[in-house]
């Protein structure tokens, strides 16, 4: 065969098999000699088979154990977060530019979920001290592991907030956001966490608007007292009110001091600062409620204030229920 013709066929073969080319490039970047030889061998034998017309038999070791394969899209990134369990020679790296949406790290107690979070936070702080990426860690215990990681690194210094200094006003307006949207978001988060149905959410939303039209500087405690004293003419509404008041009073009994404010922490702070929010001895339900309120306001704030969109926010939910993941 003419050398030029063979070269053209070789380029066509590579174009039709991008995974082989990708793995070859990765093996060279990793500098692991057995992997380099493995993928060069695959390409060489694959091309010979391609010339004979058999496009898929070029993988002589295709049936070998999976533990020699490189997991796609996980080997090239910004910093190492671990090693591939089935082949420790392969580092697993996290790509910061691809961090979007939700990332769940499930696992039983003691499997390393918190340690992985600490590696991610520590690596970001050490390697990218001037990054616009900010983090918030929510934890239901005092002195969570991430606190030790952050406090030892000046580049990633953070605010530590708990029931004594976390001032959260659910009702304060967000610049350039329709006030009714803020109330609707709040009603959705609270009703989800309190286990109310859609009717309960609509009832809560209506009463929040009624309350705030009269008491613009009111807080969640004021609203609960107002709702408890309100007289209802409908038995259906009264049923919603009784359940809502009982559940709100239960929440406020545990973390009421957080909501005893008329101003609260600015939404901008949650976007632009590194924060660790610890509410010791609280259930995942409480953490979900607090984080749901904060995240809802934070995302509304970013969406309506374009100058803050340059900040990427990494949220670590140590204890959370399902509804927070809907944010």
Q: What is the spatial distance between Cα 41 and Cα 25, in angstroms, rounded to a whole number?
A: 14
**Tens digit of pLDDT at every position of the chain (327 positions):** 667 777 888 888 888 888 778 877 877 877 777 778 877 877 887 777 777 664 444 344 433 443 445 554 455 677 787 777 777 777 778 777 666 666 777 777 777 777 878 888 888 777 777 778 888 888 887 777 777 777 777 777 888 898 888 999 999 999 899 989 999 999 999 888 888 878 888 889 999 999 999 998 899 999 999 999 988 766 566 678 888 889 899 999 989 999 988 888 999 999 999 899 988 877 878 888 999 999 999 999 999 999 998 888 888 887 655 444 444
Residue 314 pairs in a beta bridge with: 135
Q: What is the 3-state secondary structure (H, E, C) of 257-293?
A: HHHCCCCCCCHHHHHHCCEEEECCCCCHHHHHHHHHH
Residue 91 three-state SS: strand
pTM over 0.75: no
Q: What is the spatial distance between Cα 12 and Cα 326, in angstroms, rounded to a whole number?
A: 45
Give the number of C-alpha atoms closer than 13 A to the C-alpha of residue 48, restricted to the C-beta side: 7
Helices (H), the chain: 3-16, 18-30, 33-51, 113-127, 145-151, 179-193, 198-214, 220-229, 235-255, 267-272, 284-304
Tens digit of pLDDT for each residue in 52-64?
664 444 344 433 4
Tens digit of pLDDT for each residue in 151-171?
777 777 888 898 888 999 999
Domain spans of the chain, in order of start: 1-100, 108-166+265-326, 179-259
Torsion of CA 95, 97, 100, 103, to 10 degrees: 10
């Amino acid at each position: 065969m003419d050398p030029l013709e063979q070269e053209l066929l070789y380029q066509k073969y590579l174009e039709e098999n991008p995974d082989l080319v990708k793995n070859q490039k990765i093996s060279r970047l990793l500098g692991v000699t057995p992997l380099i030889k493995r993928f060069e061998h695959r390409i060489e034998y694959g091309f010979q088979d391609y010339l004979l017309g058999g496009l898929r038999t070029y993988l002589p070791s295709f049936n070998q154990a999976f533990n020699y394969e490189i997991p796609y899209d996980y080997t090239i990134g910004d910093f190492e977060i671990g090693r591939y369990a089935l082949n420790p020679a392969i580092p697993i790296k996290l790509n910061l530019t691809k961090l979007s949406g939700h990332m769940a790290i499930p696992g039983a107690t003691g499997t390393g979920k918190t340690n992985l979070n600490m590696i991610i936070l520590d690596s970001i702080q050490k390697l990218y001290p001037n990054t616009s990426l900010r983090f918030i860690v929510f934890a239901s215990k005092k002195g969570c592991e991430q606190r030790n990681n952050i406090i030892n690194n000046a580049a990633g210094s953070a605010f530590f907030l708990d029931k004594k200094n976390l001032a959260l006003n659910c009702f304060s307006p967000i610049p350039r956001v329709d006030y009714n949207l803020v109330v609707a978001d709040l009603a959705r988060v609270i009703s989800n966490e309190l286990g109310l149905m859609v009717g309960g959410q609509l009832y809560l939303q209506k009463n929040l608007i009624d309350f705030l039209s009269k008491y613009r500087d009111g807080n969640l405690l004021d609203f609960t007292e107002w709702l408890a004293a309100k007289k209802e003419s409908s038995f259906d509404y009264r049923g919603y009110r009784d359940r809502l008041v009982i559940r709100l009073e239960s929440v406020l009994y545990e973390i009421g001091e957080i909501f005893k404010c008329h101003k609260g922490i600015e939404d901008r702070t949650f976007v632009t600062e590194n924060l660790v929010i610890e509410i010791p001895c609280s259930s995942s339900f409480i953490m979900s409620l607090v984080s749901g309120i904060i995240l809802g306001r934070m995302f509304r704030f970013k969406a309506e204030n374009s100058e803050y969109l340059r900040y990427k926010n990494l949220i670590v939910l140590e204890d959370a229920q399902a509804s927070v993941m809907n944010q």
